[in-house]
């Protein structure tokens, strides 16, 4: 096992800071658990990370660490993957908790049952730890896949603001790096053992900073409030009409940073109510609602003689799109054809 080339005290200090901050995040998440079960998963994840990092420190610097404590550290490691996977899954795709999710924790429960019997030479060093590391790499890939699916979806069930996107991305990236460094140390033999805990430090402190600046990251209140909304059909239509008038008059969609919160502020209504109206009165997701105005604006400008020599991409950016790929996808979804074909068809007619 390779050792990290830092002073002994510095290694303990850095790894200990990461473990301490992870523990604080765990406590904070558990305190918010009554508001949403996802916070319970997050608290469990941070607690498992804390125990795992603590075990790493003891493994390197305390030869007399009891075997049962080492086993607890390995068991905590096995919990991190499924806990974070379920948190991310329910964070990005909100739905009710299912007890079937507990199947993810069966390996951890089995290990816990045998916590006093698992030995290093008789279990962990003859395949147990290898299986654990491969399990966590598998979950790391699952986190990335779920995150990728969310960002590629055209109709998102939840619209994330910038702070939330950074939060979930940092959580996934930081933990994936930690898991890979443990894997590369034992399986590949190319990284020092404590490089994982040391590398995790900036991620966990950045997460704490994000949570300090945006406490609403753990509120998850919109979905519950939407479920409790009771509006008559005519009220839904009135709100939808007001929203459409606002978009046409103020052209908020031309702002590439236009968001659900910005529209809610202009409407002087809660963001969850705006989302409810868009979903139920207009039968669209908020991104699709926003893009529908942008597409119509692009179509209008494409047919104006003064824009004959203007690039389509330039018009797309002027109309609020942040990227050419998202514009092309949205345009084809709305019209069934590409922007270039639309231009050719209308130029020849």
- Please write the tens of the pLDDT for every residue from 47-86: 999 999 999 888 877 778 899 999 999 999 999 999 999 9
Q: Is residue 2 part of a domain?
A: no
Q: Is 123 left (phi over 0), alpha (psi -120 to 50) or beta?
A: alpha
Whether 189 and 261 share a structural domain = no
Number of domains in the chain: 2
Query: Which of 189, 220, 251 lies at the terminal end of a domain, its last residue?
Result: 220
Q: By residue range, what is the domain housing residue 315?
A: 229-348
- Identify the CATH number of the domain in which residue 333 sits: 1.10.10.60
Q: What is the pLDDT of residues 116-174, one digit of tens each?
A: 899 999 999 999 999 999 999 999 999 999 998 888 875 555 556 778 889 999 999 99
Q: Is residue 97 part of a domain?
A: yes
Whether 29 and 81 share a structural domain = yes
Please list, in sequence order, all residues whose beta carbon lies within 8 angstroms of the beta carbon of residue 252, skipping any fewer than 6 positions away: 246, 258, 262, 263, 266
Q: What is the pLDDT of residues 188-233, one digit of tens each?
A: 999 988 888 889 999 999 999 998 888 778 865 544 455 455 667 7
125-134, 174-183, 275-284: least confidently modelled range: 275-284
CA distance 223 to 167: 19
Whether 238 and 337 share a structural domain = yes
Query: Which of 220, 254, 284 lies at the terminal end of a domain, its last residue?
Result: 220
pLDDT of residue 307: 87
Whether 343 and 195 share a structural domain = no
Whether 28 and 92 share a structural domain = yes
Of 114, 101, 104, 115, nearest to 51 (Cα)?
115
Whether 238 and 165 share a structural domain = no
Retrieve residue 84's tokens. 């974070």
| DSSP annotation string for 147-202 | HHHHHH-SS-SS---HHHHHHHHHHHHHHHHHHHHHHIIIII--S-TTHHHHHHHH
- Judge contact between 101 and 123, C-beta under 8 A: no
End-to-end, the C-alpha distance of the chain in Å comes to: 73
Q: Enumerate the H helices of 303-337 as residue ranges.
A: 312-318, 324-335
- Return the percent helix, strand and coil in the chain, to nearest 5: 75, 0, 25
Whether 91 and 205 share a structural domain = yes
Q: Is residue 295 part of a domain?
A: yes
Whether 214 and 68 share a structural domain = yes
- Judge contact between 251 and 315, C-beta under 8 A: no
């Amino acid at each position: 096992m390779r050792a990290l080339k830092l002073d002994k005290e510095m290694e303990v200090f850095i790894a200990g800071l990461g473990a301490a901050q992870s523990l604080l995040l765990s406590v904070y998440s558990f305190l918010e658990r009554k508001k949403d079960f996802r916070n319970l998963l997050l608290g469990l994840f941070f607690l498992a990370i804390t125990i795992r990092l603590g075990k790493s420190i003891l493994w390197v610097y305390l030869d007399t660490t009891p075997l049962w404590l080492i086993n607890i550290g390995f068991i905590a490691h096995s919990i991190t993957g499924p806990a974070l996977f379920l948190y991310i899954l329910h964070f990005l795709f909100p739905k009710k908790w299912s007890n079937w999710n507990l199947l993810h924790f069966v390996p951890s429960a089995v290990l816990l049952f045998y916590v006093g019997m698992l030995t290093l030479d008789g279990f962990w060093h003859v395949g147990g730890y290898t299986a654990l590391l491969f399990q966590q790499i598998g979950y790391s890939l699952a986190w990335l896949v779920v995150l990728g699916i969310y960002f590629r979806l055209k109709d998102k069930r939840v619209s994330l603001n910038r702070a939330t996107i950074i939060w979930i991305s940092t959580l996934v990236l930081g933990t994936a790096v930690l898991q890979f460094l443990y894997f590369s140390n034992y399986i590949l033999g190319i990284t020092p053992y404590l490089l994982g805990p040391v590398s995790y430090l900036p991620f966990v402190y950045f997460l704490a900073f994000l949570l300090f600046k945006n406490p609403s990251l753990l509120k998850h209140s919109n979905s519950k409030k939407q479920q409790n909304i009771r509006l008559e059909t005519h009220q839904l239509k009135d709100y939808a009409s007001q929203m459409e008038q606002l978009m046409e008059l103020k052209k908020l969609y031309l702002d590439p940073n236009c968001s659900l919160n910005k529209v809610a502020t202009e409407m002087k209504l809660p963001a969850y109510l705006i989302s409810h109206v868009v979903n139920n009165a207009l039968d669209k997701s908020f991104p699709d609602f926003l893009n529908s105005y942008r597409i119509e604006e692009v179509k209008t400008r494409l047919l104006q003689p003064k824009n004959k020599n203007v690039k389509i991409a330039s018009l797309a950016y002027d109309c609020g799109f942040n990227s050419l790929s998202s514009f092309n996808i949205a345009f084809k979804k709305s019209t069934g054809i590409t922007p270039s074909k639309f231009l050719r068809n209308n130029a020849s007619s």
